[in-house]
Amino acid sequence: LEEIVPGTAGQWRYRVWLPENLAKEVQEECFFPDGLLCDLRRYQEWGVKYILHQKKALLGDEMGLGKTIQAIATMVSLRNTGATHFIVICPASVIVNWCREIQKFSKLRVIAVHGLSRESALKDWQRTGGVAVTTYETTAYFKFPDNFTYSLLVVDEAHYIKIRARTVRKIRGDCGARGRLLFMTGTALENKVDEMINLIKLLQPSIVMQISGMKELSSAPQFKETVAPVYYRRRKEDVLTELPE
């Protein structure tokens, strides 16, 4: 069926990871790709819709499934609906890669806020908008006007946030809690429930209250359904039919 009518089995496969009502809402979420310079695989578009719908989410796709392109596509869609300012926080070793990927796969303006030119770059970004790519350490120098807010804050390698959580809280405090948040990690968190809780606490604190007594049941369907509104993960074998040889 999948070969004859692409998407027939795929849509069902994505839905099984989410409660029925949430899956239906995600499926109906609007995605505006104008300005995205590549075609998304179906599971990637579904991931973008999930991020857009949930507003504050933790994307845990296995390494190699395209978390970066899903983040870029999310920013593109938001830009098409009026959003202007995006922040990507990542390790210094991948700043160049993030900037290159954003330029290659979208028409978004990107500026690296890092190094000796960080202050001028930050002012330029605040004035003209686009994607500011920076590091955890550099955000210590971020200062915003009282009325400033970002459209989306992306935190790459979010499993490292446990030692830098204050940084993210600072940016959220400076810009208000209205901005969207996307945490990304390729590390499976099902067996690291404490790490998962720390991340979810920054995203959707109400869910933490629901799972705090379920730590020993992280593999149970009830636990997965409870965290589904904030944590979404696909493995390679889950989307194998969509991957190149």
Strand positions, DSSP E, the chain: 56-59, 85-89, 110-112, 130-134, 152-155, 180-184, 231-232
Give whole-number Cα distances, 216 to 17, 190, 228, in Å: 20, 10, 17
SS3 126: helix
Which region holds residue 109: left if phi is over 0, alpha if psi is between -120 and 50, else beta? beta
Contacts of 183 (CB under 8 A, 6+ apart): 57, 58, 59, 155, 158, 161, 199, 202, 203
- Cβ neighbours, 10 Å, residue 213: 8
Which of 56, 63, 59 minimizes the C-alpha distance to 46?
A: 59
Task: Please check whether residue 24 is in contact with residue 64, taking contact to mean a CB–CB distance below 8 angstroms.
Answer: no
Q: Residue 20's pLDDT is what? A: 86
SS3 196: helix
- Rounded to two decimals, what is the model's pTM? 0.89
Give whole-number Cα distances, 92 to 19, 31, 157, 224, in Å: 37, 30, 11, 33
Q: Residue 215's pLDDT is what? A: 62
Strand partners, 181: 56, 153
Per-residue pLDDT of the chain (245 residues; tens, 9 = 90+): 656 666 555 555 555 568 888 999 999 999 999 999 999 999 999 999 999 999 999 999 999 999 999 999 999 999 999 999 999 999 999 999 999 999 999 999 999 999 999 999 999 999 999 999 999 889 888 888 878 888 999 999 887 766 566 666 666 655 545 679 999 998 877 767 788 888 888 888 888 888 776 666 666 677 888 889 999 998 888 888 888 87
| Spatial distance between the Cα atoms of 160 and 185, rounded to a whole number of angstroms | 9
Question: What's the token pair of residue 66?
Answer: 């395209």
Q: Residue 198's pLDDT is what? A: 83
